[in-house]
Every structure is written in structure tokens, then in C-alpha cells.
């Protein structure tokens, strides 16, 4: 299942993934829905595989993974105390190198454990800048406010 329109070209991306999964022997049905229905189904654990997205141009995607694993926001009911311990320690440190190492260990264990949440695609956001304009306001969530743009 996936959210309609939240990720650019959602349907095309998921059709490619579905094709690869079918080729590997899985029976896959693609269901794209609006956001509220998706969240309700995900929170109830009413799905086999869910495709969601995270846009983190303003910080680390690690934060998202730590939060969702520790809260089990997708209602997977999977538990692994070793992964929880690594993520908890990573969340509490401000040493980025140490955090990266702890998270790599946790993600390796997640994949070996069947992975309740796995990141498998990265869609980059590209912004262009020009010194010929002023008044462009950029927000960390990839929104651009052009309501007060002026030519310099």
C-alpha cells in the first residue's frame, strides 16, 4: 500500500518495485490510497508491505527511523531488544560518528531480522538558487514560498 501523490511518481516507482518482487516469486498487489486511509491502515497493522516516504533535507533520516522503531508506529509488533538498545543509545548521543556506528549496527540487525522498516530508495530534492532574485523563502520541508519574489 502507498499514499497517492506524496512521493513524485509514486505509481511508477512502485510498479518497478512490484515487477522486481513478482520476478522474485512474490504475489504482489499494488494499492495506492489517500493519506488518512494509509495512516489508519498502517497504524492498525492492516498491510503486508507499506511504501511511505521521508523528506529530510533539514536533518538526519536516522531520527525518523529511531522514532518509528521505538514507537512501533507501523504496528508490526516485532521486538528485538538488541536493536532497541542500539537505537536508544544512538538517540542519546551527540557524537555523530558514534551515532552513525550504532545505527549501522542496528540497521544490519534489522535487515537480518526481517526489517520492520527498510529504506530502499532515495528520491533527491533539487533546488536551484539565483542571486538575480530576492524574497524567495525556502523551508526545510522542501516548500518554497515565491509570494514575495522580486527581481534584483
Answer yes or no: is 44 within a domain: yes
Q: What percent of the chain has pLDDT over 70?
A: 72
Residue 57's pLDDT band (cuts 50, 70, 90) = very low
Q: Burial, 68: exposed, middle or buried (Cβ in 10 Å; 0-12, 13-18, 19+)?
A: middle
Q: How many domains does the chain have?
A: 1
Q: Is residue 4 part of a domain?
A: yes
On whether residue 88 sits in a domain, the answer given is no
- Predicted local distance difference test score (pLDDT) of residue 139: 63
25: containing domain: 1-53
The three-state secondary structure class of 87 is helix
Q: 71-107: per-residue pLDDT in tens?
A: 777 677 777 899 889 988 988 888 888 988 998 898 8
pLDDT over 90, % of the chain: 5
Q: Is residue 89 part of a domain?
A: no
DSSP code string of 93-139: ---HHHHHHHHHHHHHHHHHTT-SS-------------TTEE--EE-
Helix axes 81-92, 96-112, angle to 10 degrees: 160
- pLDDT tens digit sequence for 42-52: 778 787 777 76
Amino acid at each position: 500500500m502507498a499514499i497517492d501523490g506524496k512521493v513524485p511518481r509514486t505509481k511508477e516507482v512502485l510498479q518497478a518495485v512490484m515487477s522486481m518482487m513478482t520476478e522474485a516469486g512474490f504475489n504482489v498487489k499494488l494499492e495506492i490510497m489517500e493519506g488518512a486511509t494509509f495512516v489508519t491502515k498502517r497504524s492498525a497493522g492492516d498491510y503486508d508491505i507499506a511504501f511511505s516516504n521521508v523528506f529530510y533535507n533539514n536533518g538526519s533520516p536516522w531520527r525518523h527511523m529511531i522514532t518509528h522503531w521505538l514507537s512501533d508506529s507501523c504496528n508490526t509488533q516485532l521486538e528485538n531488544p538488541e536493536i532497541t538498545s542500539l537505537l536508544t543509545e544512538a538517540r542519546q548521543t551527540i557524537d555523530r560518528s558514534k551515532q552513525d556506528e550504532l545505527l549501522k549496527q542496528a540497521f544490519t540487525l534489522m535487515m537480518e531480522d526481517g526489517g520492520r522498516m527498510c529504506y530502499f530508495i532515495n528520491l533527491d530534492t533539487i533546488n536551484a538558487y539565483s542571486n538575480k532574485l530576492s524574497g524567495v523563502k525556502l523551508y526545510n520541508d522542501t516548500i518554497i514560498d515565491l509570494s514575495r519574489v522580486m527581481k534584483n
